[in-house]
């Protein structure tokens, strides 16, 4: 996969995969355990949680793939920032993985609980693991995305002109909004998942959706590719 336009299309497909896997995993398959504080004590929807975990494992592969695939091009613009983007994507994926493990642990505890198990202790453990999942979501998609996808990738795409600069500006706006609202949630200034945080994610979501569609439909800017290849040569 050495041709830049082939890289562009794989890059776009991987970004679309992040959308296709992350949204149903969080809002559909994980909903039974995230929305029910007493899930660990009830019959449970373990198959649903398993499907959510499966989708988020694919999400992790796609997240890292978006950075690794485009690295050969972006490193010609700025190798340090290109490596920083890969690192940010890996760290985001680490938070995602910890969140997966926390919910699968709830499933295991629910399945292995005996009739004489202390319900209060199980409930506390379940609530703690859900809280862990929520924090991994905040620190991954709610913070690291702003650093990696927003600021770093937005800057690299803006300066390299691989995609229209107007698109990249959306990322440069969305990234700081994600970071600021994420910090606000950490310090209790903003409600997690509230209206302010939801509105602040819109530019970043549009930027990432554009990164999925534009490279597939139009590819990367050919003149920008020629310039980058000329500079590397």
Q: Which of 177, 103, 182, 114 is closest to 143 using CA atoms?
A: 182
DSSP code at position 144: I
Q: Kindly state the tokens that stand for 188.
A: 């209790």
The ranges of the chain with pLDDT < 50 are none
| Tens digits of residue pLDDT in 82-102 | 999 999 999 999 999 999 999
> What is the pTM (predicted TM-score) of this model?
0.93
Could you tell me the two tokens for 159?
Answer: 């300066």
Q: Residue 6's CB: how many other CB atoms inside 10 A?
A: 12
Domain boundary assignment for the chain? 4-232
């Amino acid at each position: 996969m050495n041709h830049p336009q082939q890289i562009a299309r794989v890059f776009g497909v991987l970004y679309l995969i992040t959308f296709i896997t992350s949204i149903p995993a969080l809002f559909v398959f994980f909903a039974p355990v995230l929305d029910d504080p007493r899930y660990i004590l009830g019959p449970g929807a373990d198959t649903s949680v398993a499907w959510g975990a499966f989708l988020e494992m694919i999400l992790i592969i796609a997240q890292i793939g978006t950075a690794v695939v485009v690295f050969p091009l972006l490193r010609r613009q700025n190798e340090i920032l290109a490596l920083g983007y890969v690192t940010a994507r890996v760290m985001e994926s680490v938070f995602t993985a910890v969140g997966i493990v926390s919910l699968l642990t709830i499933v295991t505890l629910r399945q292995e609980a005996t009739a004489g198990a202390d319900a209060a202790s199980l409930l506390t453990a379940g609530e703690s693991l859900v809280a862990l999942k929520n924090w991994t979501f905040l620190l991954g998609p709610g913070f690291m995305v702003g650093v990696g996808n927003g600021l770093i990738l937005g800057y690299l795409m803006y300066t390299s002109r691989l995609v229209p600069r107007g698109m990249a500006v959306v990322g440069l706006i969305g990234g700081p909004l994600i970071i600021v609202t994420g910090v606000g949630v950490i310090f209790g200034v903003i409600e997690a998942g509230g209206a302010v945080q939801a509105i602040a994610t819109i530019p970043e979501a549009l930027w990432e959706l554009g990164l999925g569609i534009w490279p597939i439909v139009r590819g990367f800017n050919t003149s920008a590719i020629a310039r980058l290849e000329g500079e590397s040569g």
